[in-house]
Amino acid sequence: MTEMLLLTGQTLTFKGDPFHAPWEDCVQINSAGAVLLNGTKIAAVGDADALKSAHPQARIISYGNDLICPGFIDAHVHYPQTAMIASWGKRLIDWLNTYTFPEEARFADLAYAEDIATRYLDLTTANGTTTVASFATIHPHSAEALFRAAAARGQAVVTGKTCMDRNAPDNLRDTVQSAYDDSKALIARWQGKGRAQYAITPRFSPTSTPEQLSALGALWAEHPECLMQTHLSEQTDEIEWVHSLFPNARDYLDTYEAHGLLGERGLYGHSIHLTAREIDRLAEVQGRVIHCPTSNAFIGSGALNLPALAAKGIPLGLATDTGGGSSFSMLRTMAAAYEAAQHHGHALHAAQLMWLATAGSANALHLAHEIGSLTAGHYADLVVLDLRSTAPIEQRANRSGSVWEDVFATIMLGDDRAVRATWIAGAQAHG
């Protein structure tokens, strides 16, 4: 018989999207809350005293005044770049050629791919992340290494073999046919198996010929249950490059749309420098924009006007973009999202930032029916945050006027030391 666990502390729950309604109506913190776990799932969420009375057999784990939240969901990463994070930055194309491609070439070695997959999930779990959507490399076994490592932990993961047939080193190019065949075989092996989700993965338009993009668009049409992940409008010189490669395209987004790679289940990383037409088209099809603020700052790409995209009704997710991003921490990423919005005259509330890193990213990945919120029936993927984890945060909390000030201080100043515990599928994975 499965032992029921009752985690008590402050609990963070959602009733709506704080970008489309007052945050006070959408996000709540119960100072005397609890989450009841039954096996891999959440059985109930409510007041601690009421759940204790209703379930006297449950074993109680008290987190005091720590904040029990949904696990963080990182909606755009490159797990193969784990070992090269914080490499001295240039512009995007130079950075890819100097650091990224040589590192990704090492993934021809299955043992190396397996080592990095395990290391990456250890690092992200320590930072409170319970689900990631990751690019792999062109090697099919690089996607399988991450799928297997996540399955061993009972963890939800989205990944896919990266496809590139031009503008990359010879040892990192596939072909139109091999990209299609390898991706199709991986879909058959992994899509929907356990908690695995497959994402068809053209790296970005410059590294795929029109023929390869069309083949992947055809594959997506055959498997509409899959996600599709790529990059869009990250840097201005990248956009100029795209225009030179696709002279007949209306804009960057059109290079995907013309080849069947625009849709509701599409994940478009960065999307900083969008035209009005691109914004309207993404809103129309409900394509997901994934905000990568630490990466955007680190490589000098720009500051996304995220509130403006939210106002257009575009679904949004949040991501570290490891290793272009400079941190494995979603707390640091939330802080960077706050800073990016300030460039456009918006001060995001802590409630909005927490929503982005959890429910927002779950919605972006089409997984909101099972993760992203403390909801009965969802997987018990949780992070417990110590709101007094370091001396600077504690001294701020001592002068705080509300729990939301405490949460904001932890977002802005926190790191893995703020993560008291991480739970994945009802099992404590860290802490």
Q: What's 81's DSSP letter? A: G
101-106 CB contacts, 8 Å cutoff, 24+ apart: 101/168, 101/169, 101/172, 104/80, 104/137, 104/138, 104/162, 104/172, 105/169, 105/171, 105/172
Distance of CA 297 to the CA centre of its chain: 17
Cis geometry, peptide bond prior to residue 323 (ω within 30 degrees of 0)? yes
Residues 6+ apart with CB under 8 A from 353: 334, 337, 338, 411
What CA–CA distances, in Å, run from 421 to 3, 68, 144, 257? 19, 9, 27, 42
Low-confidence ranges of the chain (pLDDT < 50): none
**Burial class of residue 394, CB neighbours in 10 A (0-12, 13-18, 19+):** middle
Q: Identify the pLDDT of residue 1.
A: 65
Backbone angles phi, psi at 292, to 5 degrees: -125, 70
Q: Identify the pLDDT of residue 376.
A: 98
CA distance 202 to 206: 10
- Residues 13-66: pLDDT tens digits? 999 999 999 999 999 999 999 999 999 999 999 999 999 999 999 999 999 999
Beta strand 129-135 pairing with 41-47:
unpaired
CA distance 76 to 285: 20
Q: Answer yes or no: are the C-beta atoms of 357 and 18 closer than 8 Å.
A: no
Q: For residue 68, which of 6, 132, 120 has the smallest C-alpha distance? A: 6
Question: What domains sit in the chain, N to C, each tagged with a CATH number?
Answer: 4-71+372-430 (2.30.40.10), 72-364 (3.20.20.140)
- Residues 319-372: pLDDT tens digits? 999 988 889 999 999 999 999 999 999 999 999 999 999 999 999 999 999 999
Q: Identify the pLDDT of residue 101.
A: 87
Backbone angles phi, psi at 345, to 5 degrees: 80, 20
CA distance 384 to 63: 8
Enter the pTM of the model.
0.97
